[in-house]
Amino acid sequence: WVIKKWGGQHTCINAILSQDHNKLDSEFICSCILGMVREDASMSISLIQERLSGQFNYKVSYRKAYVDATYSNAYIKEAYSGKWYPHGNDDNIRPTNGPHIVPDQSMLRGKGRPKSMRIRNEMDWTESQRRQRCGHCRVEGHNRTNCPQLASNIINDLNH
């Protein structure tokens, strides 16, 4: 067996592709249709649809998909076609006659990390707190960062 890289177009494909297969896109379907039309230019659309349906288990439709008018380019251009004028700085804004809204100072969020508002009860208590143990020497009361035995081992290794 010799594995070679093929430079040109190829048609090595499974007999049936699922409809969500990553290779089954409009470009691939167009290339298949183009091959059929080059083979026989008088081929009808229904025959092309039938062949593609049989070969790839995928029904090709030539109907336009419905797209609402709000997504058309004309509608979008019309929405942004109106003129608007920047007001410049805040001095150019006319005062309103409506109600003046004043925020409640007690409701404003303070600076720093928010405090927990949770009310703890008996369920949050632990019956027996396990003491901290060192990950190196397994002795209670300190951790691996400040382990005296580990520190002495490192110093001994440096001296030798």
pLDDT band at 36 (very low <50, low <70, confident <90, very high): confident
142 alpha carbon, distance to own chain's centre: 43
For residue 60, which of 33, 38, 84, 39 has the smallest C-alpha distance?
Answer: 33
Give per-residue pLDDT as tens, 39-60: 888 888 888 888 888 877 777 7
DSSP 63: S
**Residue with the two structure tokens 């400040």:** 146
28-37, 56-65, 129-138: segment of lowest average pLDDT: 56-65
Q: How confident is the model at residue 70 (pLDDT cuts 50, 70, 90)?
A: confident
Cβ–Cβ < 8 Å for 21, 56: no
Q: Alpha-carbon distance 38 to 120, whole Å?
A: 77
pLDDT(150) > 60 = yes
Strand partners, 133: 140
Identify the pLDDT of residue 3: 67
- Residue ranges of the domains in the chain? 12-81
Give me the pLDDT at residue 10, please.
Answer: 57
Give me the phi and psi of 45, to 5 degrees please: -65, -40
Q: Of 77, 78, 45, 43, whose CA–CA distance to 61 is shortest?
A: 45
| Model confidence, pTM | 0.30
Q: What is the mean pLDDT of the chain?
A: 77
